[in-house]
A = this chain, B = another copy of it.
Amino acid sequence: MSIKPTILVTNDDGINAPGIRALISVMAEIGEVIVVAPDSPQSAMGHAITINSTIYLNKISGENTAITEYSCSGTPVDCVKLAVNEILKKKPDLCVSGVNHGSNSSINVIYSGTMSAAVEAGIEGIPAIGFSLLDYDWNADFEQIKPYIKKIALEVLAKKLTEGTVLNVNFPKLKTNEIKGIKICRQAKAIWMEKFDKRQTPYGKDYYWLTGEFVNQDKGEDTDEWALAHGYISIVPVQFDLTAHHAIAQLNTWNL
């Protein structure tokens, strides 16, 4: 009899989001699941951590009472830190984050709370995957991608991820049988063109809403944007050594 793997599940849309509920249901088929997720939406929190404020952790009963769930007042990264250090007191065999309601492909990876939670797990030496579906709707259909989530998670458990890497998995908004397959990709060179929506409070004070348009400037066919646009699931291996090793030689020629 094999021992079931311990799987930590988190996200950034909050513990009640349909995306994390779908992820929990798949992980419950694979291992012993523990959920530690934000008590409120934490989208676009990047790799923020809570150092100037207190953090609350509440044990709650899940839909499935066999699964232990905690909601946390902190960021997605705080959730991973608390899970590993205060709740589990040992490293889980896998950490999965998501399923995010919306894309975390290309440059979105850097703003994403979902991916930052996975990256934090990676920093702590835990195999980790962030999952995102290209559908921002709260009632997005996560059933279609469940078979793929299971396949990818099992493969990560069976094989080892390259040291210092985690996976960024994005799903196109398609039916299971419309998905063409999985492509291993690089992050596309894309940016957000910001448009600030300037308004006035009822008291005459200006304020802004951040909005923007996503622009993919990358024509490569090996990118996550290309794969998603052509009906594939994209997997980008993501690293947290941010050193631009290729730029070191040039800087060494500078007059510093």
> Interface of A with B (CB < 8 Å)?
41, 43-52, 54-57, 74, 77-78, 81-82, 84-86, 107, 109-111, 116, 119, 123-124, 151-152, 155, 159, 161-162, 164-165, 181-182, 184, 186-187, 189, 191, 194-196, 198-199, 205-210, 235-248, 250-252, 254-256
Contact = CB atoms under 8 A, between A and B. Distances in A.
Nearest to A125: B191
Interface secondary structure of A, over-half rule? mixed
A238 B246 contact: no
A242 B187 contact: yes
Contact of A186 (B44, B208, B245): B245
B248 A239 contact: no
Contacts of A119: 110
Total copies of this chain within the assembly: 2
B235 A244 contact: no
Contacts of A187: 241-243
Given A55-B210, A151-B256, A254-B155, A191 B124 contact: yes
Contacts of A238: 242-244
Contact of A243 (B77, B84, B239, B250): B239
Contacts of A45: 46, 48
Contacts of A208: 54-57, 82, 86
B116 A186 contact: no
A242 B244 contact: no
A116 B110 CA distance: 9
A154 B158 CA distance: 51
Contacts of A84: 194
Given A44-B51, A207-B56, A191 B123 contact: yes
A44 to B, nearest CB: 5
A41 B48 CA distance: 13
A73 to B, nearest CB: 8
B244 A237 contact: yes
Nearest to A156: B254
A181 B46 CA distance: 33
A164 B196 CA distance: 25
Contact of A162 (B107, B155, B247): B247
Given A48-B48, A165-B247, A236-B242, 14 more contacts: A44-B50, A47-B110, A47-B116, A54-B207, A74-B210, A159-B254, A162-B247, A164-B189, A181-B256, A184-B256, A186-B245, A189-B241, A237-B244, A242-B242
